[in-house]
Structure 1
Amino acid sequence: MEQKISIKKGNVQETLLLPLWGRAYETQKTNPRLIDQKAVEIVEKLDYDFSNIIKTQSMSQHGWVARSLHTDKMVLDFIQEHPEATIVNIGCGLDTTFSRIDNGKIMFYELDLPDVIALRGNFYEDSDRHRSIASSFLETEWFDEIKVRDGLLFLAGGVLYYFEEEQIKKFFIKAADHFKECDFFFDSLSPMGMKIAKKQVLKKGGMGMPMDGGWGLKPIKALEKWDTRIKVINAIPMSRGMKKGLPLKAKIVLSIPDILGVCSMVHMRIESP
């Protein structure tokens, strides 16, 4: 029997299992909204008890699937316009986006802390167009490793709200200084959303990480006040257009955060003056 791969409990890296499980669970449904066989493969190889997540995260699971669907659409639209685009997946965790969207031409970087990149090495091998970078995204020396040919898109799913606003602001400005023009696509939580996520997802899901601090964004247009080069292109409520096939009760429950602006997918662009 193949030995399973253990996961360290009690830190931010443990949270990467949540969306991974969400995609794998969805894939195995009778009528899945998302098919991600790579996520199923990874879950089966991990030595981790997912039982508490299964019991407590039925509604959050819809959010993780929706985020992946939004991201896939954004990337596919972007590479339709930029067939040889460079895409950087910030805080990639055990994300599997590349497996779903690769057009055979893009350059795709997976960026995360060294222990996460080492964990990913059990499931992915680097190639000429799919590379790993072991670094905190805040330590921006890694900018020099990014080769841009035809448009640059940064993804950051389930990442930025774990940090403080000033850290994110400085990072965006450094990106603007270095790359001049690029796009970002990420999920944001309002201050209310931060409180809900910490209580309903991290605590109930058995995540052992600290739950202090974090970045709650509202209104989303406030990003444009950080720097004149920052433009908010779009902000989509997380569950908008993602409820097809769900039970009526789930549709109602998921509509409430959308109405309150709790969680959104944000498309932000950095442009030269």
Structure 2
Amino acid sequence: MEQKIKIEKGSIQETLLLPLWGRAYETQKKSPRLVDENAVEIIKNFDYDFSDIEKTQAMSQHGWVARSLHTDNTALEFMDNHPEATIVNIGCGMDTTFSRIDNGKIMFYELDLPDVIALRKHFYEDSDRHKSIASSFLDTHWFEEIEVRDGLLFLAGGVLYYFEEEQIKTFFIKAADYFEDCEFYFDSLSPMGMKIAKKQVLKKGGMGMPMDGGWGLKPVQSLEKWDKRIKVISAIPMSKGMKKAVPLAFKIMSVITDMLGVCSMVHMRIESSQ
């Protein structure tokens, strides 16, 4: 790429850089927990001072890495049972999951708003098995573009809690009506977690995301009350199994947030009614 892409401070697009930087930063450590060379290469193409993120988001970086590791592991486990699975990455941003998990057989869709998909096209070209869809995930006409051959998994990292509960509920029920059998894997924040995230990530980092509203989920099992087809497979603290090779301060914070159920990785299945 000849000319670097300029990202304005305080813009919505700036938030896309946070987890991207987190993975790139981790990759360049002496003993990285996650290796994402694509992220390292992509950030080189932005006209942006990433040192600002490093100053304000050092603790959050561990969370972004943990979320990626949990997501990769869950997707790989799903692919063990469904080698030709269809995976939809909702609100993909600048995510690079496909490059880390691709087995040469899966169908992978990247879904986000048109401006985000346009940004991604600087770095990725669609292929027969890796396709982009420019749409809000709430506008479910995109369901018609999904080809399902061998199991369907939806990923939604760092997305759902920016919307209202009724919007998420309606989306899940529409997915159940259309696809009948599928799985979802996403991170959730409790109401307390929402307050912490807005203060520590968005406000502290000067990010241009709305500070009001959002979906605080607690308890996770309450999802099953939305529709009898929804089953929670598992819900674990985001930091579970992720406390090695991290600073003591993060370990202490993780113990507290785990006890309070601040942030969870949720694995949910939608089963057709009998």
User: TM (normalized to structure 2)?
Assistant: 0.97
Partner of 1:225: 225
Partner of 1:37: 37
AA aligned to 2:42 is: I
2:153 matched to 1:191?
no
Shift in Å, 1:247: 3.0
AA aligned to 2:87 is: I
CA contact (8 A) 2:163 2:214 kept: yes
* Identity, % of aligned positions: 81
Shift in Å, 1:29: 0.6
- Give the whole-Å Cα distance in 2 for the aligned partners of 1:250 and 1:168: 30
Q: Secondary structure at the match of 1:99?
A: helix
Partner of 2:214: 214
RMSD over aligned CA atoms reads: 1.1
Shift in Å, 1:2: 2.6
Partner of 1:107: 107
1:67-100, Cα deviation, whole Å (9 max, x unpaired): 0000000000000110000000000000000000
Q: Secondary structure at the match of 1:244?
A: coil
Partner of 1:201: 201
Shift in Å, 1:8: 4.6
Partner of 1:18: 18
Cα separation, partners in 2 of 1:119 and 1:54, compared to 1, 3 Å: same
Q: Secondary structure at the match of 2:172?
A: helix
**What aligned pairs does 1:152-191 form with structure 2 within 5 A after superposition?**
152-191=152-191
Which runs of at least 4 in structure 1 moved beyond 4 Å after TM superposition? Answer: none
Shift in Å, 1:113: 0.2
Shift in Å, 1:176: 0.2
Structure 1 stretch displaced more, 41-50 or 130-139? 41-50
CA contact (8 A) 1:11 1:210 kept: no
Q: Secondary structure at the match of 1:234?
A: strand
AA aligned to 1:41 is: E
Shift in Å, 1:210: 2.2
Cα separation, partners in 2 of 1:199 and 1:268, compared to 1, 3 Å: same
- Give the whole-Å Cα distance in 2 for the aligned partners of 1:236 and 1:216: 16
Shift in Å, 1:249: 3.0
Shift in Å, 1:227: 0.3
Structure 1 stretch displaced more, 182-191 or 53-62? 53-62
- Give the whole-Å Cα distance in 2 for the aligned partners of 1:209 and 1:272: 36
Partner of 1:128: 128
What are the ranges of 5 or more consecutive residues in structure 2 without an aligned counterpart? Answer: none
CA contact (8 A) 2:15 2:208 kept: no
Shift in Å, 1:57: 0.7
1:49-81, Cα deviation, whole Å (9 max, x unpaired): 222211011110000000000000000000011
- Give the whole-Å Cα distance in 2 for the aligned partners of 1:247 and 1:58: 10
- Give the whole-Å Cα distance in 1 for the aligned partners of 2:84 and 2:11: 36
AA aligned to 1:101 is: I
- Give the whole-Å Cα distance in 2 for the aligned partners of 1:29 and 1:66: 15
CA contact (8 A) 2:10 2:206 kept: no
AA aligned to 1:269 is: R
- Give the whole-Å Cα distance in 1 for the aligned partners of 2:12 and 2:165: 18
Q: Secondary structure at the match of 2:158?
A: coil
1:191-228, Cα deviation, whole Å (9 max, x unpaired): 00000000000011120222111000000001000000
Structure 1 stretch displaced more, 9-18 or 215-224? 9-18
- Give the whole-Å Cα distance in 2 for the aligned partners of 1:115 and 1:4: 17
Q: Secondary structure at the match of 1:266?
A: strand
CA contact (8 A) 1:113 1:134 kept: yes
- Give the whole-Å Cα distance in 2 for the aligned partners of 1:11 and 1:184: 29
- Give the whole-Å Cα distance in 2 for the aligned partners of 1:54 and 1:247: 15
Partner of 2:257: 257
Q: Number of matched residues? A: 273
Shift in Å, 1:161: 0.3
Partner of 1:50: 50
CA contact (8 A) 2:236 2:265 kept: yes
Shift in Å, 1:253: 1.9
